[in-house]
A and B are shown apart, each in its own frame.
Chain A
């Protein structure tokens, strides 16, 4: 006997479609769960310049960095600045790694490792003679808090030009470390050469104190606070990523805003 619907009664057709779709649905749930278990249990990356993140997630962070660097990074995109009066009187500090004790400027020189192998020794007095740049902006911590604060120092661009580091400024990265090498950051050159990046020696009206990175710190408004190294001891240049304290602890290497 011939039947409509390609030989199936509507009752059987309902059953058939139910079976197929719920089988697919079940397979989808199982598959999703399996994928999630795989990702959640995936091994950490091999420790190197970056460490502490699941391998696939690190790969995703690096790809996402490239996407946003290419799509959005523009040195003409300036960080919003505020009137100086809006800056906090008491500037928050959140970390003391690499900051043991005081370091009065007379016991300190900045070591700049040129690619020629030569090392420049620069005193704070020399830096303070360069044109001064000030900024009042909203400092953003990776934890989620932020604070408007006022900083003064030498813009990194001016610094590079004054010490004739043209060849160095064509490298891919700047690495900065504390004198005791306990804290260190790697910064991509476009972010370092952003016009608002400062080597700061002053906050509000006073020279930096111990907990804020005496005598010289990095203020880089296009990055989260974790990249704003306090108490710079050495500056070096390279084409591969320099080591970075928080990138070794699972954070995004770029951490750009």
Chain B
């Protein structure tokens, strides 16, 4: 018999889906800002392998000459990004859900087994609760990263008034680099996340919209067949 098994609470689902467009707008407006001084790339022994970003990419997304607009969007949506994050973190602490989220002492070893399983090297998974060990690490890391974006962002935004934050980030230059690296990491996280969600299938995806998964349970003896009608 198919049975409802509750998985994600309403607040977890809302903050998840609210975060998606906000983060997309933050990344897009961030690119409008970054364009004005696009100095980052990956250079090893004199050869530049990646330049953030090539001209064709800017043209494709209509990035150039929109610094003022980018800043205006960025400094509005930063509020929503921060508030949404605060809601999620407060909820996770107060509800006690952090117990299912934070990695524990087994997680790092188990996460490796999960990776081997997902790569089809190992047949079995370690037993898991709401999140498996790799998920615990990934979903905790993404919250810490979000906090990192807020801190580095503030350090860049008000480097004089928050000079201690700027110092904590290793100075203005490093704060900008961290802010940028975190953004690139969100994009990588997103790509892996979408692949994993696709592979995990419909039941898992539905749980982030409806809140529950459907599991098959053996009907209990007192549930007789009359119920079918």
A-side residues, CB < 8 A to B, are 1, 3-4, 9-11, 13-14, 17-18, 21-22, 25, 28, 32, 36, 52-54, 56-58, 60-61, 64, 68, 72-74, 77-80, 138, 140-146, 221-222, 246, 249-252, 256-257
* Cα–Cα distance between A153 and B225 once the two chains are bound (Å): 94
**Known contacts A60-B72, A250-B68, A252-B75: does B229 contact A1 (CB below 8 Å)?**
yes
* A64: chain B residues within 8 A (beta carbon): 75-76, 79
Chain B interface (Cβ within 8 Å of chain A)?
A: 1-4, 17, 21, 25, 33-34, 36-37, 39, 67-69, 71-73, 75-76, 79, 158-163, 172-173, 176, 206, 209-212, 214, 226-227, 229
Using CB atoms, name the residue of chain A closest to B77.
Answer: A60
User: Could you tell me the distance between the alpha carbons of A1 and B172 in the complex, rounded to whole angstroms?
Assistant: 72
Main secondary structure of the interface of B (DSSP, over half): helix
A-B contacts, 28 listed (Cβ < 8 Å): A10-B2, A13-B4, A14-B2, A36-B25, A52-B68, A54-B72, A56-B76, A57-B69, A57-B73, A60-B75, A61-B72, A61-B75, A68-B158, A77-B161, A78-B160, A138-B172, A141-B37, A142-B67, A142-B71, A143-B37, A144-B33, A144-B34, A146-B172, A146-B173, A249-B68, A250-B69, A256-B158, A256-B160
Q: For residue B167, which residue of chain A has the nearest CB?
A: A80
The 6 A-B pairs with the shortest beta carbon distances in the complex, nearest first, are A144-B37, A250-B68, A72-B161, A21-B210, A143-B36, A57-B72
CB–CB B36/A144 < 8 A:
yes
Shortest distance from the beta carbon of A144 to any chain B beta carbon, whole Å: 3
Which of B36, B160, B214 interacts with A79 by CB under 8 Å? B160
Once the chains bind, are A21 and B211 in contact (CB under 8 Å)?
Answer: yes
Q: How far is the CA of A64 from the CA of B75 in the complex (A)?
A: 8
Beta-carbon contact of B17 and A28 below 8 Å: yes
User: Beyond A72-B162, A140-B172, is A17–B4 a contact (Cβ under 8 Å)?
Assistant: yes
Contact B158 A72 (CB under 8 A): yes
Query: How many Å lie between the Cα of A256 and that of B75 in the bound state?
Result: 13
Closest residue of chain A to B159, judged by CB? A257
Residues of B with C-beta under 8 A to A141? 37
Q: A21-B211, A72-B161, A80-B163 given as contacts; is B76 within 8 A of A143 (CB)?
A: no
What is the bound-complex CA distance between A221 and B73, given in angstroms? 25
Tell me whether B160 and A257 are in contact (CB under 8 A): yes
On chain A, the residues within 8 Å of B211 by CB distance are: 17, 21
A11 to B21, CA, bound (A): 33
**Which residue of chain A has its CB nearest to the CB of B34?**
A144
| Further pairs besides A58-B72, A61-B75: 17, Cβ < 8 Å | A10-B3, A14-B214, A54-B72, A57-B72, A57-B73, A60-B76, A77-B160, A77-B161, A77-B163, A78-B160, A141-B37, A142-B67, A143-B67, A144-B33, A145-B39, A250-B68, A256-B160
CB atoms of B209 and A22 under 8 A apart: yes
Closest residue of A by beta carbon distance from B14 = A28
Q: In whole angstroms, what is the CA distance A52 to B67 when docked?
A: 12
Closest residue of chain A to B223, judged by CB?
A4
Which A residues lie within 8 Å of B67 (CB)? 142-143
- The residue in chain A whose Cβ has the minimal distance to the Cβ of B160 is A257
CB neighbours of B34 from chain A (8 A): 144
Inter-chain contact B4/A10, CB cutoff 8 Å: yes
- Compute how far the CA of A14 lies from the CA of B211 in the bound complex, rounded to whole angstroms: 11
A142 and B157 CA atoms in complex are apart in Å by 10
User: Do residues A74 and B69 form an inter-chain contact, with CB atoms below 8 A?
Assistant: no
Q: Determine the distance from Cα of A93 to Cα of B39 in the docked complex, in whole angstroms.
A: 18
Please name all residues of chain B whose beta carbon is closer than 8 Å to the beta carbon of A28 when the two chains form the complex: 17
Partner of B160, one of A18, A60, A221: A221
Chain B residue nearest to A69 in the complex (CB): B161
CB of B222, distance to nearest CB on chain A (Å):
10
